Structure formats: structure tokens, C-alpha cells
Amino acid sequence: MLSTVTLEQVQRCIKPAAKELAKRRAAGTNGDLLNSELRPTNFEQAFAIQQAVAEIFSTTDNNPIVAWKCLLPTAEKTVVAPIYQHDVYQQSATCPLYASNQQLARVEPELAFEIARDLPPRATPYTETEIDAALGNTRLALELIKSRYHTPSEATYFDALADGLVNQGLWLGPVLNVLEGLNTSGFELKVNIQDGDTLQKTAIHPNGSAKAGLYWLVNFLSTQGIGLTQGQYVITGSYAGVLDLPLAQICHFEYGALGQFSVEFITK
């Protein structure tokens, strides 16, 4: 927990807020913004709530963190949030999720980097070379999107951060094609839907380099006393924003030269 969060804040704000958000996430429901006295007003409070949710899942539901989402931080916001074991699906033909109010699957196309060797917290920053040496496979992936607020547009960045930045899970697809000189900064995305519709768009990573956020995340978590462990995954930003796709239809994704996969979204 960040040092600027006091014990009084933990008892008065952090724990009750985390309990409510954890309850909503576990049930796949949403609700009003938290009561004003529970809503975070700075990064430290929001991150502390987020990590208190993780503690609840780990200790009471046997549902530990197995992945993280991130982006390079900006002056306006820092994107960092955990993803939990019960919400990660690996190369399954179907992907269970909680549908949007319009009964659609909301997903973001991403790459997921596997941690093949532990990166424990330490006093000195990790170099990019050290982080690269700890990586395993890179997989085509989809982040699954859902807010725990009825009206997420009314939530502040700190509200969203406390809630895990609209993440509801992660679908892990096939390993990235191994081609010399493969460019992972962008590709032509195509989604062929079973009913005949096709979605096409130019997909560009928001940070340019798909690993930029990963390098930042390892060292940010290290400063918080949090390590990355073997078998975890890290996603580093959507290539094409949020896609709204139909349920109960096979969707075939093509990530340009990076690879392709098919998946059917079903409701939990």
C-alpha cells in the first residue's frame, strides 16, 4: 500500500469501498457511484482500494491476481489494474463474460506478455534487458470490459482506478507468430462475424511500443512492494479501443501478420 494512505483512511474509507466493489465484481453487477465519503480523491487512495479488493479475492475467494493491465502514465492518469484468476480464459473456444446493457460483448484487442521468471520487488530499477530476459511467450489477447458503476461516464478517473479501470477479465489466445522483424506497433485488424458482418480498422498501439507500459509496470509495482511472478501476464493497451460484438456468434479475429483466432462470446 502507498505510504501516504493512513491507517485511519484504511479503516474509514478503503476497506468499505473495497468490500462493495469486490461484491459487485464477484456478482457481475453494477451500482451507483460509492457514497461520497468512500470515493477516492487521489491516486494513492484509489490504488489502495484496488489493492484491498485484490486482498479480499485472494484471501476469501481463492482468486489471486494472475495478470495486470497498464499503459505508460501521463500527466493526467496512471493506468494500472490487476486481473484475477477466475476471469482469465486461455485459448478456449468460448469466452464467458458479463454482457453490456445492450447485450453485447465489450472487448479490446491487445497483446499479452507472459512472465516466465519471477521479477520480485527490489531497491534498484529493473533494466529493459532484465525484463526482456524474464519474458516468455507473447499471446494475442482480448481484454474483457465492464464497469461496476451504472453510469461510468459520471465516474472520475479515481473512481475508475479503484474499480480496476473497467476490466472484467482477459481472454488469452494463440502465441504471436514468430517472424523476424515482426512489427507489433500496429496492424490491420479484421473481425469476421458469423452472421456475415465484418469489422475492419487500422489498429495502432497507444504507446507505439507494445512493451513500453510493461517496462514501466515492473518498476512501478516494485516500488509498491509488489512483484510479478512466473505464469502471470501483462497487457499494455488496446490497439483499437473498445469493440462491441454480438453474443453467441463465432467471431474470427485477424491481427494482421501477428496471427488470428476464433472465439464465441457467451454470457456468464
Question: Residue 27 belongs to a domain with what CATH number?
Answer: 3.90.850.10
- How far is residue 10's CA from residue 16's CA, in Å, rounded to a whole number? 9
3-class DSSP assignment, residue 25: helix
Residue, of 179 and 11, whose pLDDT is higher: 179
pTM: 0.95
pLDDT-derived band of residue 1, with 50, 70 and 90 as boundaries? very low
The per-residue pLDDT of the chain, averaged, comes to 95
- Among 206, 209, 207, 187, CA closest to 253: 187
- For residue 146, the enclosing domain spans 7-267
Chain-centroid distance of CA 105 in Å reads: 16
Is residue 102 a part of any domain in this protein?
yes
In a domain, 236, yes or no: yes
The neighbour count for residue 224, using CB atoms within 10 Å, is 14
The per-residue pLDDT for 4 is 62
**% pLDDT > 70, the chain:** 96
Instruction: Please report, to the nearest 10 degrees, the dihedral formed by the alpha carbons of residues 113, 117, 118, 124 taken in order.
Output: -90
Model pLDDT for residues 165-196, shown as the tens digit of each residue? 999 999 999 999 887 778 999 999 999 999 98
CA 93 – CA 90 distance, rounded (Å): 9
Q: What is the pLDDT of residue 12?
A: 74
Cα–Cα distance measured from residue 144 to residue 233, given in angstroms and rounded to the nearest whole number? 14
> pLDDT tens for residues 48-80?
999 999 999 999 989 999 999 999 999 999 999
In a domain, 229, yes or no: yes
Is 1 contained in some domain?
no
Q: What's the total number of domains in the chain? A: 1
Q: Is 2 inside any structural domain?
A: no
Given a cut of 70, whether residue 6 has pLDDT beyond it is no
Q: Has residue 213 got a pLDDT over 50?
A: yes
Of 195, 192, 174, the closest CA to residue 254 belongs to 192
Percent of the chain at pLDDT exceeding 90? 91
Residue 91 in any domain: the answer is yes
Helices (H) and strands (E) in the chain, counts: 6, 13
> Which of 1 and 39 is assigned the larger pLDDT?
39
Residue 3 has pLDDT above 70, yes or no: no
Rounded Cα distance between 130 and 114, Å, is 14
Range list of β-strands (E), 122-239: 135-145, 167-175, 186-193, 198-204, 233-235
Query: What is the pLDDT, as a whole number, of residue 10?
Result: 60
Question: Is the residue at 207 inside a domain?
Answer: yes
Summarize pLDDT for 13-55 with one digit per residue, the tens.
Answer: 899 999 999 999 999 999 999 999 999 999 999 999 999 999 9
> Residue range 88-102: average pLDDT?
96
Within a domain: 194: yes
